[in-house]
Structure 1
Amino acid sequence: MKTNLVPWLLAVVAPVVWGSTYFVTQKWLPGADPVWLAAVRVGIPALFMVWLVPVQVWQKFGLRLLLMSLLNITLFSGLLFYSISVLPGGVAATLVATLPLQVILLRLVTGQGAELAHLIAAVGGVVGVGMLLWRADAALSPLGIAAALSAAFVMAAGVLMASRYSSDIKPLQLTAAQISLGGLCLLVFAGLSGHPFPEVTQEGVIAMLWMGPIGMGVAYWAWFRAMAFVPVHKLAFLGLLNPVVAVLGGVIIMGEVLSTGQISGMAIILGCILGAQLVGSRQAGTKSAA
Structure 2
Amino acid sequence: MLLLLTGLGWGSNWPALQLLLREMPPLAARSYAGLASSFVFGLGALAFGVRLSVPRALWGRLALFSALNVTAWMGLATVGLLWLSAAEAATLAYTMPVWAALLAWPILGERPSLTKLLALALGIGGVVILFAGRGLDVGLAKLPGMLLLLGSAMFFALGAVLAKRYPLPMHPVAAMVWQVGLGCLPLFLLSPFLETVRLGELSPLGWFLMGWMAVVALGIAYLAWFGALARLPASTATIGTLLVPIVAVLATGLLLDEPLGLREWSALGFTLAGVLLATRRRA
- Structure 2 length normalisation: TM-score? 0.81
Take 1:273 and 1:69, find their aligned partners in 2: how far apart are those partners?
24
Q: CA separation in 1, counterparts of 2:99 and 2:174? A: 27
> 1:278, CA displacement in angstroms?
5.0
**1:182-224 CA-partner distances (Å, limit 9, x unpaired):** 2333222223x25221442110111111111210111111222
Tell me the equivalent position of 1:23: 15
How many Å apart are 1:171 and its aligned residue?
1.6
Matched, 1:83 2:80: yes
Structural mapping, 1:102-141, within 5 Å: 102-110=99-107, 111-125=109-123, 127-128=125-126, 131=129, 136=134, 138=138, 139-141=140-142
Match of 1:178 in 2: 179
Counterpart contact for 1:49–1:176, Cα < 8 Å? yes
Deviations 1:42-84 (A, max 9, x none): 1110112334363542534222211111111112111111111
Q: Which residue of 1 aligns with 2:244?
A: 242
1:26 to 1:136, Cα distance in 2 relative to 1, 3 A: farther
Q: How far apart are 1:129 and its partner, in Å? A: 6.5
- What is the rounded CA distance, in whole Å, between the counterparts of 1:168 and 1:28 in structure 2? 35
Partner of residue 253 from structure 1, selected from 252, 255, 259: 255
What count of residue pairs does the alignment treat as equivalent?
A: 272
Structure 2: segments with no counterpart, 5+ residues = none
Q: Where do residues 19-98 of structure 1 align in structure 2 (5 Å cutoff)?
A: 19-30=11-22, 32-51=24-43, 52=45, 54=51, 56-98=53-95
Q: Quick check: 223-232 or 32-41, which moved more?
A: 223-232
Q: Normalization by structure 1: what TM-score?
A: 0.79
Aligned to 2:111, the other structure's residue is in SS state coil
Q: Where do 1:139-218 residues align within 5 Å? A: 139-166=140-167, 168-191=169-192, 193-198=193-198, 199-218=201-220
Contact 2:92 2:146 in 1 (8 A): yes
3-state SS of paired residue (1:85): coil
Maintained 8 Å contact 1:93/1:133: no
Residue 32 of structure 1 aligns to a residue whose secondary structure is: coil
Deviations 1:143-166 (A, max 9, x none): 433321211111111112223333
- The gaps in structure 1 that reach 5 residues or longer are 1-8, 283-290
Report what 1:220 is aligned to.
222
Sequence identity percentage: 28
Please say if residues 101 and 123 of structure 1, whose CA atoms lie closer than 8 Å, have aligned partners that are also in contact: no
Alpha carbons 1:160, 1:232 under 8 Å: kept: no
Q: For 2:214 and 2:61, how far apart are their aligned partners in 1?
A: 23
Summarize deviations over 1:259-286 as a string: whole Å, max 9, x none: 3444444555555555566542x4xxxx
1:220-257: CA deviation from partner (whole Å, max 9, x where unpaired): 11222222344445544443432221221123324455
- Whole-angstrom CA distance in 2 between matches of 1:74 and 1:219: 17
The one-letter code sitting in structure 2 at the alignment partner of 1:120 is L
